[in-house]
Amino acid sequence: MKLLKRLWVGTCVVAFAAAAPSWAQTGKGDVVYVPTPQIVVDEMLAMIKINANDYLIDLGSGDGRFVITAAKKFGAKALGVDLDTYLLKIANENARKENVNDRVTFREQNLFETDISAATVVSTYLLPEMNLKLRSKIMKLKPGTRVVAHDYSMGDWYPDEQKTLIVPEKKVGNAGISYIFSWVVPALVAGKWQSTINVGGKDVPYEFDMEQFFQNIDGPARAGGVTGEMRGKMTAEQVKFSLTGKGSQKIERHEFQGQLAGETITGTVRIGEGATARQSAWSAKRIKRGELARAQDEPDGK
């Protein structure tokens, strides 16, 4: 897990340094306001595949363009949160002009005090330290909730997808360049799991000690009496990981995928490679629940 952390920290430093803004207008509280170019808004909404079944909460909604676009172009319901009464007035006026009053709401509220539990999508254009403060709150949302951010990532929680855009009309920050990051909130799969798999007509016991760092999973494993190591990823409640031998230990490559439901994973395993690979049903039970590994950049020592 340490290797994954180091790789992403290095990437983040480059992105943050390149995108560091020089803010021109300051709103109330901790938040500074700079409008997101419309081309970036459109790309962010496309990246998270927003649709009419979604409920979007935009934290730091400014003039409302993100919320309004989500409602007008995709039919989503949305809430925009901001502390600037002038910007909230503009946002409400813009919503009336675009005839989306029935699907959008704007609220004057501190974004850290906002209840986001009902969101299927959360969006931000906030400075890195504010994203880090929000991160633990976002990680408690229902698995599968999508998160999208403009210019600033979530520290050690590296994105599932990212994109760099050339934006001619961007007047602040690293003029002409915007970064977009998106995530899917993962379910908690960390812990000790046991399984039995029929290999060559013989039932073989398996054990997995899954360590989880946000959406990434790895850790030691055993297949019969042979030691191996696993590595994979959570996407919402979908589990995917590979198992290989460790060091001189020989284990045929295993590719697991399944659906997490409480303390059970049900899915399939593919053993071997090429034309000789075979696939069978697979399930596992969690016998000891684990926790997310602590991020190096966890705010306030938590």
pLDDT value at residue 245: 87
Instruction: Give the right CATH number for 191-289 from 3.40.50.2300, 2.40.128.120, 1.10.3720.10, 2.60.40.10.
Output: 2.40.128.120
* CATH architecture group of domain 2-184: 3-Layer(aba) Sandwich (3.40)
- Integer Cα distance of 196 and 283 in angstroms: 8
The CB-side HSE value for 170 (13 A sphere, CA atoms) comes to 23
pLDDT value at residue 140: 96
Q: In 10 A of CB 190, how many CB atoms?
A: 21
Q: Which of 47, 90, 84 has the alpha carbon at shortest distance from 68? A: 90
Question: Domain segments of the chain: what residues?
Answer: 2-184, 191-289
pTM of the predicted model as reported, rounded to 2 decimal places: 0.86
pLDDT value at residue 170: 58
Mean pLDDT of the chain: 88
Residue located via tokens 């992105």: 15
pLDDT value at residue 196: 96
Q: Which of 157, 153, 158, 164 has the alpha carbon at shortest distance from 129? A: 153
SS3 181: strand
Residue located via tokens 């997310």: 292
Regions of the chain where pLDDT drops below 50: 2-29
- Integer Cα distance of 228 and 210 in angstroms: 12
DSSP character at residue 153: -
pLDDT value at residue 25: 33
pLDDT value at residue 1: 54
pLDDT value at residue 175: 62
∠ CA(52), CA(57), CA(62), 5° rounding? 115
The structure tokens listed for 210 are 């899954």
